[in-house]
Copies of this chain bind each other. A is one copy, B any other.
Amino acid sequence: MQTIQQHFQVAYSYSIYFTRNLFEESNPLLRSFFEALHEPGFRRKALVVVDAGLLPHYPELPDAITSYFSTFSSHVHLVPDILLVPGGEQAKNDPALFDQLVRAVDEHGIDRHSFVIAIGGGAMLDLVGYAAAVSHRGVKHIRIPTTVLSQNDSGVGVKNGINYHGKKNFLGTFAPPVAVFNDLTFLESLDDRDWRAGISEAIKVALIKDRTFFAWIEANAEALARRDSAPMEYLIHRCAEMHTEHIRSGDPFEFGSSRPLDFGHWAAHKLEYLTDFSIRHGEAVAIGIALDSVYSTQSGLLPAAELERILTVFHTLGFELYHPKLSENDKLNLRNGLQEFREHLGGQLTIMLLERIGKGVEVHHMDTDVIASAVDYLQALYPSFAS
């Protein structure tokens, strides 16, 4: 009998809004979003989930959310219980939190035309996004990222996930949100490490794609280091723009092997595990970028003067670019990360390196001796860190 050929396309569309004080009653942005969606006959609900780490800085946040939603309750009905879940990578290691979220979707009758709204850092957004994506085969999900990293990178993208038996993002889906609201006031509460850490994803995307943006970061590195808000807002907007443009024009759900946005990430993922997540994702990414940049130079791809600029910009921003765990066990622990990275992506090993600032190049092999030598180079630069 004749083979049946199935083929179709699925269209996705969402906006990333930039604002301040999202839940102030005078701010019409979120209200307008729900009003525009209103359809007679639909009774939409919204379940709000807040990163518990925000509460010490914003104790009034749950009340502000409740008041804000009360001004348009005919368009969307807020579930009165605002759910709190812990933030940080550890939240992605705890299956009980995933269960708690799924149960809340069930108990509060959140259907596929209702909303789960997550407010928090990147790890917590990944967790809540995954629970929303698999409940009823996907309820509508709104992200309100509160950190530099989530506002310019993970929170504006299409992935979610949780860890499983020590494997990062082993369980997850590709599931675009229906909207992202970047509220820049949340950045004020970040400690210096979190403020800085998110900048490494902007440096990453500049290094592989946009020399002009890198030069802008160089010129503004000192202002960013002293926490000026204007350059940070530009950096987040430009990075989010490049991140979404990359998803749009490429392979949104990563059916192929190429993942240029994972520049510096093979070592970063491994280092996060080797340090038991005592370093932030963005801090690990900075080290991973430094390592792969040194590797690029040592293997003859990237001119030394370009490497110098890269290391200098990280240094000006206050990043440490070496960690003793890189050298542990004769660097074998780190090098195992390369194989694990290949397994997670699948297929052929594909690693992004640099041939110059603004231009990445993919390779399918890394020389373990050169990796070891690149680690030694970073250690020599930062002797204070040697174990």
**A interface list, Cβ under 8 A from B:** 1-18, 39, 41-42, 44, 102-103, 106, 109, 111-114, 133-139, 156, 159, 161, 164-165, 167, 169-174, 176, 233, 237, 240-241, 244, 247-248, 252-254, 257, 342-348, 364
A112 touches B345 (CB 8 A): yes
List residues of chain B with CB within 8 A of the CB of A11: 7-9
List residues of chain B with CB within 8 A of the CB of A136: 170, 344, 346
A331 nearest CB across to chain B (Å) = 23
Measured in the bound complex, the distance between the Cα atoms of B6 and A17 in whole Å is: 11
Of the A-B pairs whose beta carbons lie under 8 Å apart in the complex, a sample of 10, sorted by A's number, is A1-B237, A3-B16, A5-B13, A6-B14, A6-B244, A41-B348, A109-B343, A111-B346, A133-B173, A136-B170
Using A134-B134, A171-B135, A348-B42 as known contacts, say yes or no to A111 and B343 having CB atoms under 8 A apart: yes
| Other-chain contact of A8, B137, B169, B247 (Cβ < 8 Å) | B247
A173 touches B138 (CB 8 A): yes
A112 touches B346 (CB 8 A): yes
A268 nearest CB across to chain B (Å) = 18
Using A112-B345, A172-B137, A347-B112 as known contacts, say yes or no to A41 and B364 having CB atoms under 8 A apart: yes
List residues of chain B with CB within 8 A of the CB of A133: 173
Using A106-B167, A161-B137 as known contacts, say yes or no to A5 and B9 having CB atoms under 8 A apart: no
Measured in the bound complex, the distance between the Cα atoms of B173 and A173 in whole Å is: 9
Closest B residue to A112 by beta carbon equals B346
Measured in the bound complex, the distance between the Cα atoms of B241 and A3 in whole Å is: 9
List residues of chain B with CB within 8 A of the CB of A172: 134, 137
A15 touches B10 (CB 8 A): no
A12 touches B3 (CB 8 A): no
For the residues of A in contact with B, the DSSP-based class is mixed
A137 nearest CB across to chain B (Å) = 5
List residues of chain B with CB within 8 A of the CB of A138: 173-174, 253
List residues of chain B with CB within 8 A of the CB of A165: 103, 106
A113 touches B253 (CB 8 A): no
A8 touches B18 (CB 8 A): no
Using A159-B137, A161-B137, A347-B111 as known contacts, say yes or no to A12 and B15 having CB atoms under 8 A apart: no
List residues of chain B with CB within 8 A of the CB of A44: 347
Measured in the bound complex, the distance between the Cα atoms of B253 and A8 in whole Å is: 11
List residues of chain B with CB within 8 A of the CB of A167: 106
Measured in the bound complex, the distance between the Cα atoms of B41 and A345 in whole Å is: 14
A361 nearest CB across to chain B (Å) = 17
A247 nearest CB across to chain B (Å) = 7
B1 touches A18 (CB 8 A): yes
B10 touches A137 (CB 8 A): no
Closest B residue to A240 by beta carbon equals B4
